[in-house]
């Protein structure tokens, strides 16, 4: 079993929140509307605290972070820019480059803007049009569900290294639940957004954008959890009242 040994952090918080996420997944599976849309997509993993400052976290296989996707694009762009500059410099000094040539260089570098990165990764990783379409649908539903659930849990610290993309299924996997219950609002630079929905994430939703599969999945998820609010609030109260965890 591949795992992560994490130190300098109390993983009992993550362990309790995994229990909440598993319960939410069960609610979505039991709800006819949510089950019909395949919304039980909350990715849970094993968290085993070894003490108040360390623990083991199950390593989710075949995942890559959004930051890694960006860094790959950045490295490829810099390499392409360097190759073009070396080629042009060998032919003529930079001060003599014609304006139309410079425009062509910059246009080629901007052909895949950062906002389009994830969309291209989702479409290119399918292998066929049908598989790519299914990956896009899975991504849209998974992003919607995790946005709703993260909002309810007050989940913060959603930087690109804490959001992963899962293999061929293209599900969205969140890690590091240490900043939750709206603790992000009390940071030195307060977090004021309910969840992360940047241009790179929204562009990857396809032609429907925010008003397509994403919106329908959000509405169905919130409706399901609202119908089970008593059970959800009771579970949250039990977790928050745990004397072994300092929230």
Dihedral over Cα of 214, 217, 219, 221: its sign:
negative
- For residue 153, being part of any structural domain is answered with yes
Q: What is the pLDDT of residue 81?
A: 64
Q: What is the pLDDT of residue 207?
A: 83
- For residue 45, being part of any structural domain is answered with yes
CATH number at residue 140: 1.10.1070
| Contact by Cβ (8 Å): 14, 47 | yes
User: Can you name the residues that pair with 173 across neighbouring β-strands?
Assistant: 164
- Name the pLDDT band for 108 (thresholds 50, 70, 90): low
CA distance 17 to 236: 9
H or E stretch covering 165: strand 163-166
Tell me the per-residue pLDDT of 181-195, one tens digit each, with 9 for 90 and over.
Answer: 988 999 898 998 999
More confident residue, 116 or 98: 116
- For residue 84, being part of any structural domain is answered with no
Q: What is the pLDDT of residue 23?
A: 94
pLDDT surpasses 60 at 36: yes
Tell me the per-residue pLDDT of 133-160, one tens digit each, with 9 for 90 and over.
Answer: 888 889 999 999 999 999 999 999 999 9
Q: Residues, the chain, total? A: 247
- Count the helices and strands in the chain (H runs, E runs): 9, 6
CA distance 197 to 143: 9
Q: What is the pLDDT of residue 104?
A: 62
Q: Tokens 């049908």 belong to which residue?
A: 130
- For residue 120, being part of any structural domain is answered with yes
Number of compact structural domains in the chain: 1
Cα–Cα distances in Å, from 23 out to 90, 178, 209, 231, 232?
63, 19, 29, 9, 8
- For residue 160, being part of any structural domain is answered with yes
0.85 surpassed by pTM: no
- For residue 105, being part of any structural domain is answered with no
- For residue 247, being part of any structural domain is answered with no
pLDDT surpasses 80 at 78: no
CA distance 6 to 186: 24
User: Encoding tokens for residue 75?
Assistant: 């490295």
pLDDT surpasses 70 at 91: no
Averaged pLDDT for residues 75-87: 66
Which bin fits 182, alpha (ψ -120 to 50), beta or left (φ > 0)? left
């Amino acid at each position: 079993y591949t795992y992560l040994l994490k130190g300098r952090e109390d993983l009992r918080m993550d362990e309790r929140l995994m229990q909440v996420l598993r319960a939410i997944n069960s609610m979505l599976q039991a709800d006819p509307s949510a089950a019909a849309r395949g919304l039980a997509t909350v990715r849970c993993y094993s968290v085993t605290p070894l003490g108040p400052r360390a623990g083991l976290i199950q390593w989710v296989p075949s995942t890559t972070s959004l930051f890694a996707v960006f860094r790959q694009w950045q490295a490829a762009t810099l390499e392409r820019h360097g190759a073009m500059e070396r080629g042009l410099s060998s032919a003529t000094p930079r001060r003599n480059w014609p304006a139309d040539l410079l425009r062509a260089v910059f246009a080629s570098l901007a052909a895949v803007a950062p906002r389009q990165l994830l969309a291209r990764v989702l479409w290119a990783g399918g292998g066929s049009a049908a598989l790519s379409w299914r990956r896009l649908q899975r991504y849209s539903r998974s992003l919607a569900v995790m946005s709703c659930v993260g909002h309810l849990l007050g989940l913060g610290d959603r930087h690109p290294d804490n959001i992963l993309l899962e293999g061929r299924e293209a599900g969205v996997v969140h890690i590091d639940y240490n900043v939750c219950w709206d603790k992000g609002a009390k940071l030195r630079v307060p977090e004021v957004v309910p969840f992360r929905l940047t241009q790179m994430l929204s562009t990857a939703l396809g032609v429907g954008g925010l008003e397509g599969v994403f919106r329908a999945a959000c509405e169905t998820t919130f409706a399901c959890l609202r119908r089970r609010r008593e059970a959800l609030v009771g579970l949250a109260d039990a977790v928050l009242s745990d004397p072994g965890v300092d929230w």
